[in-house]
């Protein structure tokens, strides 16, 4: 009966209430799946296009609701953030993914990275960072195989706690990447002030390759900046061979995108490794 009611609310609410009730429904339903630890995780490979090899995987969350269908993380993550659900979600994600990752290291001698998206609120949460440190240690995973992706945001590094987190992570050897680089109200000055390891250039710039000359010029200058600061640089959302070639030619060999791989299930990742590595 509960399910029927939900369908009705989603399908037949007057238009003016539609988006409000959808957000509320997502919030309530998400809370349940997080409590029950029922979210799925997928892994998108990151490629070094010079070596033509996988150098890491980024963990992304997937959720299919029985009535709503697949809900994009672009929709539910912000709701989870504003309703205080990210700590639990991310802890479950670390528990699950790091125990699998420990097996990859064992079975495939995997020496690449596993990258987690960390919301800025969590990044300055000391309990969370202590938990992270503990669970990596428990699974005996080398700290330098872990990367945390944090979204670029001016406010992030103005919090004392965030800067302390960065310093703690640097001492441990856990890597930090700035996600969606080049979007929003960015300031470049933090790049040489704070210990970050990588910038991930937003898909928005990759999309401008071959279509927007000024956009290309900005992209090339971001790559040069990263290279001159000796930061790793990876381009997101690479979908075509032209984009790949342009990036390689301009000094950005690390990339991620549908051209190489969509996010894969655990089974697909393992299948890939059995075929490529063990045969």
Contact positions toward ligand C2E, by CB under 6 A?
44, 60-61, 72-74, 77, 93, 117, 119, 179-180, 237-239, 256-258, 263
Query: What's the chain's Rg over C-alpha atoms?
Result: 20
Residue 117 binds to Ca ion (criterion: CB under 5 A): yes
Are the C-beta atoms of residues 152 and 184 closer than 8 Å to each other?
A: yes
H or E element at residue 150: strand 146-151
H or E element at residue 1: none
Residue 207 binds to Ca ion (criterion: CB under 5 A): no
73's contact among ligand C2E, Ca ion, none, with CB below 5 to 8 A by partner kind, is ligand C2E
Q: Which is nearer to ligand C2E, 13 or 54 (CB)?
A: 54
Q: Which is nearer to ligand C2E, 7 or 265 (CB)?
A: 265
Residue 149 binds to Ca ion (criterion: CB under 5 A): yes
Which is it for strands 254-255 and 40-48: parallel, antiparallel or unpaired? antiparallel
Nearest Cα residue to 265 out of 136, 96, 113: 96
Q: How far apart are CA 17 and CA 41, in angstroms?
A: 31
Contacts 24+ apart (CB under 8 A), 222-225: 222/181, 222/182, 223/247, 223/250, 223/251, 223/252, 224/251, 225/188, 225/191
74's contact among ligand C2E, Ca ion, none, with CB below 5 to 8 A by partner kind, is ligand C2E
Q: Binding string to Ca ion for residues 176 to 195, with x set by CB under 5 A, is what? A: ---xx---------------
* Segment near Ca ion (CB under 5 A); pick from 38-46, 148-156, 211-219, 249-257: 148-156
61's contact among Ca ion, ligand C2E, none, with CB below 5 to 8 A by partner kind, is ligand C2E
Secondary structure in 3-state letters for 105-137: HHHHCCCCEEEEECCHHHHCCHHHHHHHHHHHH
Q: How far is the CB of 113 from ligand C2E (least distance, A)?
A: 14
258's contact among Ca ion, ligand C2E, none, with CB below 5 to 8 A by partner kind, is ligand C2E
257's contact among Ca ion, ligand C2E, none, with CB below 5 to 8 A by partner kind, is ligand C2E
Question: Applying CB under 5 A, which residues contact Ca ion?
Answer: 117, 149, 179-180, 236
């Amino acid at each position: 009966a509960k399910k029927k009611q939900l369908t009705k609310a989603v399908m037949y609410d007057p238009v003016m209430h539609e988006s409000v009730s959808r957000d509320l429904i997502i919030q309530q339903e998400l809370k349940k799946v997080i409590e029950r630890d029922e979210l799925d995780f997928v892994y998108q490979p990151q490629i070094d296009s010079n070596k033509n090899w996988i150098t890491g995987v980024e963990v992304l969350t997937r959720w299919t609701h029985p009535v709503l269908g697949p809900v994009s993380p672009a929709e539910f993550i912000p709701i989870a953030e504003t309703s205080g659900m990210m700590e639990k979600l991310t802890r479950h994600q670390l528990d699950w993914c790091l125990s699998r990752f420990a097996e990859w290291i064992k079975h495939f001698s995997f020496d690449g990275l596993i990258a987690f998206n960390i919301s800025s609120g969590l990044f300055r949460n000391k309990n969370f960072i202590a938990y992270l440190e503990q669970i990596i240690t428990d699974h005996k995973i080398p700290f330098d195989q872990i990367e945390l992706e944090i979204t670029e945001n001016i406010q992030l590094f103005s919090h004392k706690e965030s800067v302390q987190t960065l310093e703690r992570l640097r001492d441990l050897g856990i890597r930090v990447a700035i996600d969606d680089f080049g979007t929003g109200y960015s300031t470049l000055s933090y790049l040489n002030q704070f210990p970050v390891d990588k910038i991930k250039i937003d898909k928005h710039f990759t999309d401008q390759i071959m279509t927007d000359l000024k956009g290309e010029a900005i992209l090339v200058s971001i790559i040069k900046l990263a290279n001159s600061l000796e930061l790793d640089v990876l381009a997101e959302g690479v979908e075509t061979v032209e984009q790949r070639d342009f990036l390689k030619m301009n000094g950005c060999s690390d990339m991620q995108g549908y051209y190489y791989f969509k996010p894969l299930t655990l089974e697909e990742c393992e299948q890939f490794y059995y075929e490529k590595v063990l045969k």
